[in-house]
Structure 1
C-alpha cells in the first residue's frame, strides 16, 4: 500500500481526475482518495507509474509506502 500526497487537489472534479489517472496507469489498482487530506491510498505494484500519471494529469505528487 502506498500513500500519495497530491498538491492542488481542491475539489471533487480534481479527485475524479486523479482517480482516473490512477486507474489508467494501473487498472488493477485499488484507490481511496481523501480530498480533505489531499492524499490517495493506493494498492499497486507500480507506484512510480501511478505517480507519473497523477503528475501528467496536472497534480504534483509524491508517494511513500505505508
Structure 2
C-alpha cells in the first residue's frame, strides 16, 4: 500500500529534496515529491503520525495523509469513480 501526503510550505527544489530526505530517514521507499502539486508519494506503509512528524520536523506542514493505490490515486477517489460509472 502507498501513501499520498499533501504538504504546504515547499517553494523550491531544495524543499523537495529536504522532504524526500526526511521521508527516507523514516524508511520511505520509492519516494516521489511533486512541488507543483504540493504532495509526496511513498510506496510503503509507514504510520501517518511518523510521516507527519518527519515532515514537520523538516519545517513543512502536513495537510493530509491518505492511502493510495500504487498509481497514487486515493482509494476514496477510485471508489467514487466506480459508483458513478
TM-score normalised by the shorter chain: which range applies? 0.7 to 0.9
**Aligned residue in 1 for 2:33:** 33
Separation in 2 of the partners of 1:47 and 1:7? 19
Q: TM-score under structure 2 normalisation?
A: 0.70
Which structure is richer in relative contact order (CA contacts within 8 A, separation 6 or more)?
Answer: 1
Q: Which runs of 4+ in 1 moved over 3 A?
A: none
Q: TM-score under structure 1 normalisation?
A: 0.88
State the Cα distance separating 1:47 from its structure 2 match: 3.7
What stretches of structure 1 of length at least 5 have no aligned partner? none
How many residue pairs end up in the alignment? 65
**Which structure has the highest strand share of the two?**
1
Separation in 2 of the partners of 1:6 and 1:47? 16
Bigger drift between 34-43 and 46-55 goes to 46-55
Considering only aligned residues, what root-mean-square deviation do their CA atoms show, in Å? 1.2
What stretches of structure 2 of length at least 5 have no aligned partner? 69-85
SS, match of residue 30 in structure 1: coil
Separation in 1 of the partners of 2:52 and 2:44? 11
Equivalent residue runs for 1:16-27 within 5 Å: 16-26=17-27
CA-to-partner distance for each residue in 1:4-54, whole Å, 9 max, x for gaps?
00101110000000000000011x522111110010011122142122101
